[in-house]
Amino acid sequence: MIRADFYKSYDERLLGFHVSGHAGLADEGYDVACAAVSSAVMMTCNTVTDVFKLNAKVDVDENDILLKLVTDEKGEGDKLLLGLMLQLDLIGQEYPGTVKIYVNVR
């Protein structure tokens, strides 16, 4: 199962996420749920850092990615992370048992 932890501030703004694991639908390279999650996560990271040029810490390892916003005065990153959370929820609904989302207040 893919685990997606999202981090919120006390004022309800999303500050980052940590996504890890495998969906387990098929062998590596053939798992459509893993591919969908990977694509959504990488698009979010690239949009945060390369399009909006937000200051963010991004760590990528095999089956594991972490993004933490350092600054987000306009709330652009918060909206992107909310969109990612929605997309991961939809993938989990389409492929039950593949994605579990947690929201943690920091």
Each residue's pLDDT tens digit in the chain (106 positions)?
999 999 999 889 999 999 999 999 998 889 999 999 999 999 999 999 999 999 999 999 988 999 999 988 888 899 999 999 999 999 999 999 999 999 999 7
pLDDT at 63: 87
The CB density around residue 106, as the number of other CB atoms within 10 Å, is: 9
pLDDT at 11: 87
**pTM above threshold 0.85:** yes
Report d(CA 29, CA 69) in Å as an integer: 30
Domains in the chain: how many in total? 1
**Residue 32 lies in domain:** 2-105
Report d(CA 72, CA 50) in Å as an integer: 14
The CB density around residue 53, as the number of other CB atoms within 10 Å, is: 9
Output the domain CATH number for residue 93: 3.30.70.1490
